[in-house]
């Protein structure tokens, strides 16, 4: 079998609800690597918050972070960095929205450095994973570089108005998406940047054609990647719009959806380590 490039989203896809990778799926992924296939993580998380899973799987491939805005190779610095940040001037304009809309806070991330407009214990708890460098102060003065990503924290009454304003004024400059409840957060990256862009960069690096790219996801930030991949697979717990564009649907992240699907489609023989608790291994194929 010719090698496949297999892209894995993290939250809700590779990771169970307790943010761990099941032993079964981990074993299948390692056997896929041993069989010559390439595994790449494609996540909205920054590198500092996904590094532990990269290392846990023993990956030796590039990693796609910030939904494609930052792609690099942790083990090969010579591979280079593909960084697609937002224009700094636009970010400073967004800060001014706080005077019109009820924006609780804004934070900007420059790869793994985090800048807060104001102190915020709730958001600090979210971004502390990986021990980033954190600076707090007016972004119009403290932020001196084009940011990789911006988060706008508001309330339920204003979030749709802010999104509408961003779409009307900055349609050709930035792309935004809303976090799931209970978070009233708008995540902003550069226009035209998404996971499919990063995945194509990695596929080109390895010389793997689109038809031999498999991608797994569960949320709206996976839409472009699932649609672009030769085989886009939605998790059983995925949102309905993703299932609609996907080529196939597997079991949920709690049911080893990735492990079961890859073992089957790649023709990987079950190992003694890959038996799922309470499951007859012969029924996995």
Which active-site residues does the annotation give? 9
192 and 175 in contact (C-beta within 8 Å)? yes
Output phi, psi for 28, to 5 deg: -65, -45
Which residues have C-beta within 8 Å of that of residue 136, sequence separation ≥ 6?
115, 116, 118, 119, 142
Positive or negative CA dihedral for 187, 193, 197, 202? negative
Report the alpha-carbon distance of residue 213 to residue 200 in Å, rounded. 9
217 and 229 in contact (C-beta within 8 Å)? no
Residue in this structure with the two tokens 């989203």, named with its chain if needed: 9
Structure tokens at 274: 């890959």
Structure tokens at 162: 């802010």
Structure tokens at 47: 């590198």
């Amino acid at each position: 079998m010719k090698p496949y490039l297999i892209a894995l989203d993290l939250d809700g896809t590779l990771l169970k609800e307790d943010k761990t990778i099941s032993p079964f799926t981990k074993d299948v992924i390692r056997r896929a690597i041993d069989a010559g296939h390439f595994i790449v993580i494609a996540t909205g998380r920054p590198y500092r918050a996904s590094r532990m899973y990269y290392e846990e799987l023993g990956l030796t491939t590039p990693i796609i972070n910030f939904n494609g805005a930052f792609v690099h190779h942790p083990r090969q610095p010579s591979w280079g960095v593909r960084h697609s940040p937002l224009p700094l001037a636009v970010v400073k304009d967004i800060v001014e929205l706080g005077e019109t809309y009820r924006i609780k806070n804004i934070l900007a991330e420059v790869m793994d450095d985090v800048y807060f407009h104001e102190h915020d214990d709730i958001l600090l708890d979210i971004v502390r994973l990986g021990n980033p460098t954190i600076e707090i102060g007016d972004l119009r003065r403290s932020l001196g570089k084009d940011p990789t990503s911006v988060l706008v924290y508001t309330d339920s009454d204003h979030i749709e108005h802010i999104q509408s304003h961003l779409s009307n004024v900055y349609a050709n400059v930035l792309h935004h998406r809303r976090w799931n409840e209970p978070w009233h957060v708008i995540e902003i990256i550069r226009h035209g940047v998404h996971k499919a862009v990063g995945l194509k960069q990695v596929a080109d690096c390895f010389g793997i054609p689109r038809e031999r790219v498999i991608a797994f996801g569960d949320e709206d930030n996976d839409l472009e990647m699932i649609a672009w991949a030769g085989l886009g697979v939605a998790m059983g717990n995925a949102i309905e719009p993703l299932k609609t564009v996907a080529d196939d649907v597997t079991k949920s992240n709690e049911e080893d959806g990735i492990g079961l699907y890859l073992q089957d489609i790649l023709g990987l023989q079950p190992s003694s380590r890959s038996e799922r608790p309470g499951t007859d291994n012969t029924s996995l194929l």
